[in-house]
Amino acid sequence: MHLENRVLVTGGAGFLGSHLCERLLDAGANVICVDNFFSGTRSNIEHLIGHKRFELIRHDVTMPLFVEVDEIYNLACPASPVHYQRDPVQTTKTSVLGAINMLGLAKRVGAKILQASTSEIYGDPQVHPQPESYWGHVNPIGLRACYDEGKRCAETLFFDYKRQHNLRIKLARIFNTYGPRMHPNDGRVVSNFVVQALLGRDITIYGEGTQTRSFCYVDDLVDGLMRFMAAGDGVFGPINLGNPEEFTIRQLAEQVIALTGSRSRIVHRPIPQDDPHQRRPDISCAHDVLEWAPRTRLSEGLKRTIGYFDALLADRTMHGRLTTAVA
């Protein structure tokens, strides 16, 4: 990365975006963080405010943005079911109009642009593990479709802009990522289990807990994104980024209980509509092309994540919010 690089991160105050902004600053970039704070929070990037190479803009990517930048990481979109189903129409707009506006910006200023796509584009997969060549198995009218199909449409737009305008694109399909700064009430399995365990509440599993997921620690994921952006223009993806180690949801719950020393019991609830049964990335492409693979084991990443939520619970105000949320 050139030291004078001007980098735009949309969704920069979110869980993943805030870690990316931090790492880009460490690498010497000038960072413009854009967020409308629908699911991102100011507290995630508060420690960066005042940094001479960091700028925060409150803006919704469904509206055009006019800035001069060299690189764009388009991360803007609520990524947890609780958040993206709260306003499904806005979720689709964020994915589709946000992609159009950021691609238009990249075209105007000649910037390289990376799209944060998702493993959700594979839906409830019938191929396991999921390679980039798999087209997916998605319900286009289900409760998750606002996110799944919004991201699929964004992928289409990125490749059409590449073919039609010779735009320099990067398309990353991100699998389950966890770590500090996850939103405590976002309904994602890691944050749910950790908060419930720390409060001594029942840990809620949907179905029998035999569904599998692969959990990538946030530092590893950010490393993958930055390696991808730094790769030559001939490397544009799509590329899966995630941890290929696979765990059942019940195994995750048991590990969280053990690491927290909690007395929480595991209880079962009906499985949500279109919940994928299996999810595991084939990262052969990332390994071969980017020389990337995650290094953080689940037990180590969970310890750091538990430490973060433990500190949140020490805050009386946050403790009240979390207690209400998991009651």
Gap between the Cα atoms of 54 and 51, Å rounded: 5
Check: CB of residue 74 under 8 Å from CB of residue 34.
no
Rounded CA separation 170/239 (Å):
9
Q: How far apart are CA 27 and CA 1, in angstroms?
A: 7
Helix residue ranges, H only, 33-76 = 42-45
Question: Above 60 in pLDDT, residue 316?
Answer: no
* Two tokens, residue 256: 């969280």
List, in order, residues 6 or more apart from 149 with CB less than 8 Å away: 92, 138, 140
Give the tens place of pLDDT for each residue, 198-224: 999 999 898 888 888 999 999 999 999
**What are the E-state strand segments in the chain?**
6-10, 30-35, 54-58, 71-74, 112-118, 169-174, 177-178, 203-206, 212-213, 216-217, 239-241, 247-248, 266-269
Give the model's confidence band at 83: pLDDT under 50 very low, under 70 low, under 90 confident, else very high.
low
Task: Tell me the domains of the chain and their CATH numbers.
Answer: 6-178+217-241 (3.40.50.720), 189-213+245-280+297-325 (3.90.25.10)
| Terminal-residue alpha carbon distance, the chain | 47
- pLDDT score, position 327: 45
pLDDT score for 278: 80
Calculate what percentage of the chain has a pLDDT beyond 90.
74
Tokens 């073919």, residue?
Answer: 163
pLDDT (tens digit per residue) in 250-263: 999 999 999 999 99
Q: How far is 107 from 110, CA to CA, in rounded Å?
A: 5
Predicted confidence at residue 191, as pLDDT, reads 92
User: Does the annotation mark 84 as catalytic?
Assistant: no
- For residues 21-38, give the mean pLDDT: 96
Q: Which two tokens stand for residue 76?
A: 């803007």
The structure tokens listed for 296 are 């953080």
Residue 241 has pLDDT above 90, yes or no: yes
Tokens at residue 195, please? 């908060």
- Report whether pLDDT(299) > 80: yes
- Confidence tier at 3 by pLDDT (50, 70, 90): very low
Which one from 73, 147, 161, 178 is the annotated catalytic residue? Answer: 147
The residue among 261, 218, 260, 212 whose CA lies nearest residue 241 is: 218
Host H or E run for residue 223: helix 218-230
